[in-house]
Amino acid sequence: MLQKAVSHGGHSALTDRVDVDFSLAIHNRTGKYFIGRDLLETTDLPIGKTYFWGLAADRPPSGLFGKVVGRLQHYHIRAHAIGGAWRRVPKRRPERPLLHLDPFTVPSTVLRREDAVLCHDLGPLTHPDLFDAEVSRIYHPIYREIAQVGPHLIFVSKASMAQFASLYPDADPASIRCIYPPIRAGATTARPEPVPDVHRPFLLTVGSIGSRKNQQRCIDAFSRSGLFHTGVRYVMCGPREPGFEEVQAAAERTPGVLCLPYVTDAQLSWLYRSAAGFALVSRLEGFGMPVAEAIAHGLIPLVTRDSVLHEVAGDGALLAGADEVDEIAEQMIRLLRMSNDERRSRIEQLQAAITRFDIEAIRQQWRSAFRDILSH
């Protein structure tokens, strides 16, 4: 059995468990949430208590209570990161090693070297123009503290891990590794449910809708491609984020483009199974799970060249520059007109690439990470 003696203020606590901060589940249903949910469902991991801000519970607070807890947590984190009246509220001192499922929760506790942080991307640092200004202000001191303290670090992509090393060359984490997120079971096993007003053939984009995902340039590219005049449509779905209004306006004025709200797993399954091709030429990603999900459904994706999306898909994907509207248009056309031989070859490469995201293999990597956390 894994055990560790941890010193807390002059006394020792024997532990064979790692507590988890899953506060992002209070108000987040993006890929980060699903990564955390899948992790907590790995029943043989030595997980102790699960925290939502300062509350230890089996499930996140919901309804009005959840909104209140989420807002108070935000005040607390903001104050300890960049200042404010809530700084008077002390940080929680964990009794056991604590795994933060997002760096955002780090300021709410006293961070120690025996703790661990799951890092999704460093976008607020490297691309502040794609985020709310306050988000970038908060994440800068958070990552500085992480670099100074040196807890165990887990990244969801090699690209993000390399960015951290470049930004903080003097950091000395207790351990560092990349563990890819698994493909969500709900996206591949849900019984397909048709989406009203969506007709084949269509290209599909899945992901938060806004400036960061670059849908506006993809809409422009679809318009330039002339595919609409051959009966092809372009469908996108996902939750809103900064820049949504501009994307929505572009979709409304462009023939053949349909911007859906966040869809159910059953509807998403139908979209993946029914699409003629997939496009996600994003400006910034932490990982890009929709690309892996699309490949699992037999789609060839068009993704951003030299990006984490390229890392996820491998060389079977079609590539384009995020700012190159004409190139994106050309590759959209290629998705629809590709020869059967090329399609077959690319799908074989893509299917081989996503074996890296098999849930059992990834759970084994998490078991190794927990062993490291508990052995230091």
Query: pLDDT tens across 135-181, in order?
Result: 999 999 999 999 999 999 999 999 999 999 999 999 999 999 999 99
| SS3 at position 303 | strand
Other beta carbons within 10 angstroms of residue 75's beta carbon come to 14
Other beta carbons within 10 angstroms of residue 36's beta carbon come to 24
Residue (of 219, 281, 282) closest to 256 by Cα position: 219
Q: Which residues, 6 or more positions from 351, have their beta carbon under 8 angstroms from its beta carbon? A: 295
Using CA of residue 193, residue 197, residue 200, residue 201, what is the dihedral sign? negative
Give the span between the Cα atoms of 201 and 155, in whole angstroms: 37
Tell me, what amino acid is at 302?
L
Helix (H) or strand (E) holding 117: strand 116-119
Is the predicted pLDDT of residue 37 greater than 90, yes or no? no
Tokens (6 digits) for 132: 């709310």
Look over the chain and give the mean of its residue pLDDT values, rounded to a whole number. Answer: 91
Tokens (6 digits) for 19: 């507590």
Comparing 177 with 33, the larger pLDDT belongs to 177
Going along the chain from its start, the domains and CATH numbers come out as 4-182+358-375 (3.40.50), 185-357 (3.40.50.2000)
> Cα 82 from chain centroid?
25
Helix (H) or strand (E) holding 326: helix 325-337
pTM of the model: 0.88
